[in-house]
Amino acid sequence: MQCLAGIRLDADFGYFNLLKIRCFVLEEVFKEVIKEFNKEITDKKDPSQINPLVLAYIGDAVYELYIRALLVSRSNAHVHKLHVDSIKFVKAKAQSDILHRIMGNLTEEEQDIVRRGRNAKSGTIPKNADVTEYKYATGFESLIGYLYLTHAYDRLVEVLKMAVSEDAAQS
CA dihedral 89, 110, 131, 65 (to 10 degrees): -30
In our burial notation (b when 16+ CB lie closer than 10 A, e otherwise), range 102-129 reads beeebeeebeebbebbbebeeeeeeeeb
Angle at the Cα of 84 (from 81 to 85), degrees rounded to 5? 85
Length of the chain: 171
Residues taking part in catalysis:
60
